[in-house]
Structure 1
Amino acid sequence: MRNDLVAEAAEQASSVVDLAQELIRRPSRGGIDDYAPVLAVLESWLTGRSLPHRRLHDEQGQLVGLLVEIAGGRPGRWWALDACVDTAPFGDEGAWSFPPTIGDVAGQWLRGRGAADSKLAASAFCHIAADLHRDASRLKGGLAVLLDVDEHTGGFGGARAYLADPSAERPAGVMIGYPGLDEVVVGGRGLWRAVIAVHAPAGHSGSRRLVVSAISRAARLVQLLEEADLPAAPGDGSGFPLSAKLSVTAIRGGEGFSVTADRCELNVDVRTTPRFDAEAAETLVRKAAAGLDAEFPGPAPTVVTPVACWPPFQLQPDEQPVAALMAAANVMGLAVRAKVAGPSNIGNLLAGHGDGIPATAGFGVPYEGLHGIDERASLAELPQVYAVYRQAVLDLLGAP
C-alpha cells in the first residue's frame, strides 16, 4: 500500500512543482505586494480543471484568498486544508545568492521566497483537491482548501473571511501546510499584545530643572516588566509543555536632541499558556504600569491598550485531524512526533473561533531559509508528504 501511494504521488510531483514555481515568481509579500497576481495563477489553474472555487474578501472588500470546495456524495463532516500564498519580506536582497522570486529547481531544492512557507503546500493541496474531485461521490462530507493571504501580516484576513462566510461549511478540523518533516504541530502558545503609552512633562534637555523624560520612565517600565514573575511551567500539571514569555518588542519616543520626550510607547508581547492566560497577562502588565506611576508619577496615568489576543491550544494524539495525519505518516514510514510550538499561528485563531476548531499547524517537506535568506524547500520528500496528506484526507472523508 505504501509503495502504491508514493508512486501515485510521484506522478503528481512534477505538476505540483510547476504550479509552485509560478506562484513563487509572483511576489506576494504580506502587506507589501498586491495579492491579485499570485491568486490569479491559482484561479487559472483551478478553472482549467473545473474545480469549484470562489474568492474571499475581508470586511473592507479586499481580496484575501480563494476557497476551493469539494462536496462529497454522502453525508458527513467537512475538513479543510490551508496554505498561505503570501510570504515574508525578502529582507536584504543583496544577501541572497539567487533572486528571491527565481522559482527554479537546483538539485533537489525548489528555490525562492515562499517555496517553504507555503507555496509548495498550496500547490500540493490544489492537486489533492483535483484528485478527490474526480471521484467525489464516494466521499462523506467534503473538503475545503483555503488558499489565504494576509497571513504574514498577522491579520489572517483569508482565514477570518473563510470563518465568517455564511455559505462555507464549518470544518470539523483543519490541516495547515507549514513545512517540516519530523513533526506534526498540534498546539501553540497563545498571545496577548498591548501598546503602552508612558507620559512625562515636556522640557528642554539643557534646563537646570531636572526633567524625567518619558523615555526614562519607559525604560523603568521595561525593567519592571522584565522583572515580573511568570509561571515557570512545564510541570505545572496542565500538560502544556511550554512556559509563558514576555517580550518588549518595540519602543518609540522622542525627537531631535533639545527636547525631552513627553510621550513614549512600548509594544509588549506576552506568549500565554493554559495556566497563564490572557487575563493573567493583562493583570501582570497593568500591575507593572501602576507600579511605575506609583514610583515615578507622571502628568497622566500610563495607558495600556490591548491590541491582540489569541488563546493557546493543544490537541491530543487521538484527536482528529491529528490522528489521521500521524497514522498516514506512519503508513509512509515516517517517524513523526507531536509538537507544541512556541510561536502562534492560524491554529490559535481557529482554537478561539466559537467552541474551537482543531488544527494541525505544520507537517511538510524539509526546508532552509524560512523567513530568512535563500529560502528553499526540499523536493526529495515531496511524494511522501503529498501521499500523507492525501491519505489523511481520504481517511477523514471515509473513502472506501
Structure 2
Amino acid sequence: MKEDLVAHAAARAASVIELAQELIRRPSRGGIDDYAPVLTVLEHWLSGHGLPHRRLHDEAGQLVGLLVEISGGRPGPWWTLDACVDTASFGDESAWTFPPSAGDVVDGFLRGRGAADSKLAAAAFCHIAADLLPIAGALRGGLAVLLDVDEHTGGFGGARAYLADPDVVIPAGVMIGYPGMDDVVVGGRGLWRATLTVSADSGHSGSSRKVLGAISRAARLVQLLDGADLPGAPSAGAEFGLSPKLSVTAVHGGEGFSVVADRCDLNVDVRTTPVFDAHDAETLVRKAVAELDAELPGPVPTLFTPIACWPPFQLQPHEQPAAALMEAAASFGLPVRAKTAGPSNIGNLLAGQAGGIPATAGFGVPYEGLHGIDERASLAELPQVYAVYHRAVLDLLDAL
C-alpha cells in the first residue's frame, strides 16, 4: 500500500502543479481582488473530473468558497480537507524578483503569491477527492473538501458559511493544508482583539494654551499596554508551550498639521493561551485604560470596542485527525513532530464551535516568502506530502 500511494502521488504531481499554477495566475488577495476568477478555475476542474461540488455564500450573498462532498457507502463520521485560495497582499511589488502572479516553476519551486499559502494544497486536495470518488462506496462516512476564501482578511467567511450551511454534515475533524514539512500543527494560541478610542479636546496646534491631544494620550496608552504584566514563557516541557502576547497593531488619528486631534483609535491584539484567556486579556487592557483615564483625564472615558475572540486550541498527538496525519507521515519515514503554533488560524474558529471541532493546521511542502516577497513552494516534496494526506484520509474513512 505504501509503495502504491507513493507511486500514485508521483504520477499525480504534474497535474497538481498545473492546477496550482492556474490558481496562482488568478490574483485573489483577501479583501482586494474578486474571488470569482480563482474559484471559477476550481469549478471547471471539479466539473471536468465529475466531482460533486457547490458554491458557498455568506449572509450578504457574496461568494466565499466551494465545497466538494463525497459520501461514503457505509455509515460513519465525515472528515474535511480545507485549503484557502485567497492570499495575502503582494506588498511592495518592486521588491519581488518575479511577478507575484507568475505561477511558474523555477529551480524546483512553484513561484507566486499563494504557492505556499495555500493554492498548492488546494490543488492537491482536489486531486485526492478525485482519487476517492471511484471508491466512494467502500468508504465509511464521507469526505468534504473546503476551498474557502475570505481567510486572509481574518473574517473566515468561507469557513463560517460552511459551518452555517444546514445541509452540511459537521465533520468529526478538519485537516488544514497550511505549508511546512517539519511539523504537524495540532494547536494554536487564541486571540482577543479590541479597538480603543481615545478622546481629547481639540485645538489649534499654534495656540498659546497647552492642549494635550488624543494622539499624545494614545501614545501614553501604548506605553501602558506595552508595559503590561503578562505571564512569562512556560517552563520546559509545559503542555501548551507558548506564552501570551500583546501587540498594538494600528494607530489612527489626526489630520494635517494645524489641528490637535480630538480622537485616536488603537487596535489591540492579544494572543491567548489556556492559562491567560480572553477574560484575562480584557481585564488587562481595561486596567491600562483605567490607568490612562486617571493619569491623563480626557473629556470622555476611553471607549472600548471588542472586535474578535477565539479560544486557543490543542490536540494531543493521539487524537484524530492528528493521529492519522502523524501516523501516515511516520509510515513514509517523515520524522514529524506535533507543534502548537503562535499565530491563530481556522483551527481556532473550529475550536470555538459548539462541542469543538478538532483540527490540524499545517503539514505541507517547504516554502519561502510566506506573506512576504518572493513566495515560493518547494515541489520536490510534493509527492510525499500528497501521499501522507491520501493515506491519512483513507485511514480515517476506514478504506485501508
- Asked if Structure 1 and Structure 2 have the same fold, meaning a TM-score greater than 0.5 normalized by the shorter chain, the answer is yes
Equivalent residue, structure 2, for 1:387: 387
How far, CA to CA, are the matches of 2:93 and 2:290 in structure 1? 44
Equivalent position of 1:276 in the other structure: 276
Q: Map Cα deviations across residues 164-197 of structure 1 (whole Å, 9 max, x no partner).
A: 0010100000000000011111101000011001
| Equivalent in the alignment of 1:312 | 312
The structural deviation recorded for 1:92 is 1.6
TM-score in terms of structure 2 length = 0.98
- State the partner residue of 1:321: 321
Query: What RMSD in Å do the two structures reach over aligned CA positions?
Result: 1.1
Give the aligned length.
Answer: 400
> How much does 1:107 deviate?
2.5
1:72 matched to 2:72? The reply is: yes
Give yes or no for contact 1:316–1:322 (8 Å, CA) kept in 2.
yes
Q: Provide runs of 4+ in structure 1 moved above 4 Å.
A: none
Counterpart CA distance in 1 for 2:207 and 2:48 is: 73
Q: How big is the shift at 1:2?
A: 3.0
Tell me which amino acid in the other structure corresponds to 2:215. I
CA apart distance, 1:239: 2.2
Write out aligned runs for 1:238-257 (5 A): 239-257=239-257
Partner of 1:360: 360
Q: 1:99 and 1:201 mapped to 2: Cα distance?
A: 48
Distance across 2 between alignment mates of 1:114 and 1:101: 9
Q: Which residue of 2 aligns with 1:151?
A: 151
Measured after TM superposition, the shift of residue 235 of structure 1 is 2.9
For each residue in 1:197-231, what CA deviation from the matched residue of structure 2 results, as whole angstroms up to 9, or x when unmatched?
11111112222222111111111111111111111
Q: Which runs of 5+ in 2 are unaligned?
A: none
Deviation, structure 1 residue 10: 0.5
Cα distance in 2, alignment partners of residues 284 and 34 from structure 1: 39
2:41 maps to what in 1?
Answer: 41
Paired residue secondary structure (1:372) = coil
Report the Cα distance in structure 2 between the residues aligned to 1:33 and 1:215, rounded to whole angstroms. Answer: 33
Does residue 176 (structure 1) correspond to residue 183 (structure 2)? The answer is: no
Query: Aligned partners of 2:107 and 2:298: how far apart in 1?
Result: 62
Contact 1:177 1:362 in 2 (8 A): yes
Letter in 2 for 1:333: G
Q: Provide the C-alpha distance between the structure 1 equivalents of 2:303 and 2:41, rounded to a whole number of angstroms.
A: 46
Distance, in Å, in 1 between the alignment partners of 2:377 and 2:125 is 16
Alignment partner, residue 221 of structure 1: 221
Q: Shift of the alpha carbon at 1:345?
A: 0.4
* CA–CA distance in structure 1, aligned partners of residues 93 and 199 of structure 2: 39
Structure 1 Cα separation of the partners of residues 223 and 356 of structure 2 = 36
| Residue 51 in structure 1 maps to residue 51 in structure 2 | yes
Structure 1 stretch 97-106 or stretch 190-199: which is displaced more? 97-106
TM-score by length of 1: 0.98
Q: CA deviation at 1:298?
A: 0.8
Kindly indicate whether the alpha-carbon contact (under 8 Å) linking 1:238 and 1:274 is maintained by their aligned counterparts in 2: no
Q: Quote the residue 1:4 is aligned against.
A: 4
Secondary structure, aligned partner of 1:348: helix
Q: Which amino acid aligns with 1:360?
A: T
Q: Partners of 1:236 and 1:221 in 2: how far apart? A: 33
Whether 1:259 and 2:271 are equivalent positions in the alignment is: no
The whole-number CA distance in structure 2 between the counterparts of 1:94 and 1:77 is 48
Deviations 1:261-300 (A, max 9, x none): 1111111100001111111101111111111111111110
2:81 aligned partner: 81
Name the % identity. Answer: 78
Aligned to 2:332: 332
Amino acid at match of 1:200: A
Give 1:321 shift.
Answer: 0.3
Q: For residue 23 of structure 1, what is the aligned residue in structure 2? A: 23
Secondary structure class of the residue paired with 1:134: helix
